[in-house]
Amino acid sequence: MNPATSVIQTLRPRILERRTRLQAAAGSVSADYVHNLLAEVDAALERIDNGSYGLCETCHDPIEADRLEGNPLIRFCLDHLSREERRAHEQDLELATEIQAKLLPPSNIALKDWETHYRYQPVGAVGGDYCELIAASDGQSLFFAVGDVAGKGVAASLLMTHLSAIFRSLLSLDLPLTEVVSRANRLFCESTASAHYATLVCGRATEDGAELCNAGHCRPLVLRPEATERLDATGLPLGLFCSGRYTVSHVRLGEGDSLILYSDGITEAQDSEDREYGEPRLIGALRSYMHQGARAMAESVLRDVAGFRGARPPHDDMTLLIIRRHS
Ligand SMILES: [Zn+2]
C-alpha cells in the first residue's frame, strides 16, 4: 500500500519547488552535482505519476512517512538502506539524541515549597514528548510543561526542540501564562507545516498552588490525601489554528498535594491482549505510592506500567512529571 495520498499531495509541490531552485542554481553550482540531483528529482516526480512513490525499492513496503517528509527523494525503507546511508542515518540519530538530552531539564528541581521529579522515556533514540521545568530567577515560582508532538522519530524530536526554544524565549519576557501559550501557538503555527501540532499542559507553580493551561493534552491530575481531581483541557492543541485562544485555570495545592502531568504513552500503554493501562489504573498506582517522595512515586508508577505491558514493547514515548508540595 502506498503512503497516504495526502502525504504525496503535500510533497509533490515541495519537490517541484526544489526542481525550480535546482535549475536556477545550475549555472553557478558544480554542474555534475546539479545534474545528478535534477535526475533524482525527476525520478521522484515520475514515481508519483506512476504510483510507485514512497515504496521501498527493495521490499515494496511503504517508506516511513516522517523520513519522506524530511527527504522526499529517498527510495528505501529503514531496513534497506545502503551501508553508507545507514551510517549517515545513525549519525543523525546520535546528534538528535545529544541535542535532545541537552534540552531536558535537570531531573530534580527543588524550591522552597515544591519538590519535583520527572521521567522521560522515548520509545526510540529520540522522543517527541516535551518536558520542561524552569525555576524563576527569584526562586519563587516554577514553570512546568509536558507536551506531545504529533509524529515519531527524528522529525518529531526536532519539532519538540523547536517548541522548547519557543517556550524558553517567551518565558524570558515575563508574560502572563495565557499570553505565553497564545504566542507559542502562533509561532508554532507560523513555523511548522500544517500537519504538525502538539498537545501540551503548562503552568506555573507559585505560593499556594498552580496556574495551568491545557492545550488539548491529557488531563493533569491533582492528588490530595482525600481525593483525586482531573483537570480538563481548556484549549486546542498548539499549531492547529494561529488564532487559538487559551484560558488559564488556578488550582490550589495544599501541603502534601501533588500535581501530575503525563503523556498518553503511559495511559495508552497496552498489555498482550490489547488492553490499555488507562487513567483509572494510573490514578490507582499514583495513590498507592503518594506517600513516597516525588522520585520514588514516579519510579514506582513507571514500574507498574512496565509490569502491565509485560512482554509487549512500548509504542509511544512516556513522560511523567510530578510536582509535589512539601508536607
Ligand atoms: Zn524495504
* Residue 316, all three cell numbers: 509511544
Residue type, 82: S
**How far is the centre of ligand 1, averaged over its atoms, from the C-alpha of 32 (Å)?**
29
Residue type, 49: D
pLDDT digits (tens, 9 = 90+) for 217-248: 999 999 999 999 999 877 889 988 888 889 99
pTM of the model: 0.81
**How far is the centre of ligand 1, averaged over its atoms, from the C-alpha of 242 (Å)?**
38
Q: Check: CB of residue 114 under 8 Å from CB of residue 259.
A: no
**How far is the centre of ligand 1, averaged over its atoms, from the C-alpha of 81 (Å)?**
8
* Residue 186, all three cell numbers: 502562533
- pLDDT for the residue numbered 205: 93
Q: Under CATH, which number does the domain 5-80 receive?
A: 1.20.120.910
**How far is the centre of ligand 1, averaged over its atoms, from the C-alpha of 55 (Å)?**
8
- pLDDT for the residue numbered 174: 86
* Residue 231, all three cell numbers: 483537570
**How far is the centre of ligand 1, averaged over its atoms, from the C-alpha of 84 (Å)?**
16
Residue type, 142: L
**How far is the centre of ligand 1, averaged over its atoms, from the C-alpha of 5 (Å)?**
19
pLDDT digits (tens, 9 = 90+) for 283-322: 999 999 998 889 999 999 999 999 999 999 888 999 999 9
**How far is the centre of ligand 1, averaged over its atoms, from the C-alpha of 57 (Å)?**
7
pLDDT band at 3 (very low <50, low <70, confident <90, very high): low
**How far is the centre of ligand 1, averaged over its atoms, from the C-alpha of 212 (Å)?**
45
Instruction: Identify the H or E element spanning 7.
Output: helix 5-25
Instruction: Spell out where 239-317 has E strands.
Output: 249-252, 258-262
**How far is the centre of ligand 1, averaged over its atoms, from the C-alpha of 58 (Å)?**
5
Residues 6+ apart with CB under 8 A from 140: 111, 112, 206, 207
pLDDT digits (tens, 9 = 90+) for 19-50: 888 888 777 777 788 888 889 999 999 999 99
- Give percent above pLDDT 90 in the chain: 55
- Helix, strand, coil shares of the chain as percentages rounded to 5? 40, 20, 35
DSSP 8-state class, residue 270: B
Q: Residue 61 above 90 pLDDT?
A: yes
**How far is the centre of ligand 1, averaged over its atoms, from the C-alpha of 12 (Å)?**
22
**How far is the centre of ligand 1, averaged over its atoms, from the C-alpha of 85 (Å)?**
13
**How far is the centre of ligand 1, averaged over its atoms, from the C-alpha of 38 (Å)?**
24
**How far is the centre of ligand 1, averaged over its atoms, from the C-alpha of 86 (Å)?**
13
Q: Residue 4 above 70 pLDDT?
A: no
Residues 100-115 have a mean pLDDT of 84
Enumerate the domain spans of the chain: 5-80, 98-325
Q: Residue 258 above 90 pLDDT?
A: yes
The rounded mean pLDDT for the chain is 89
**How far is the centre of ligand 1, averaged over its atoms, from the C-alpha of 61 (Å)?**
6
Fold type of domain 98-325: Phosphatase 2c; domain 1 (3.60.40)
Residue type, 62: P
pLDDT band at 103 (very low <50, low <70, confident <90, very high): confident
pLDDT digits (tens, 9 = 90+) for 161-216: 889 999 999 998 989 999 999 999 999 888 876 668 899 999 999 888 999 999 99
Pick left, alpha or beta for residue 291 (phi over 0 → left; psi -120 to 50 → alpha; otherwise beta).
alpha
Write down the residue that cell numbers 521545568 correspond to.
133
DSSP 8-state class, residue 235: B
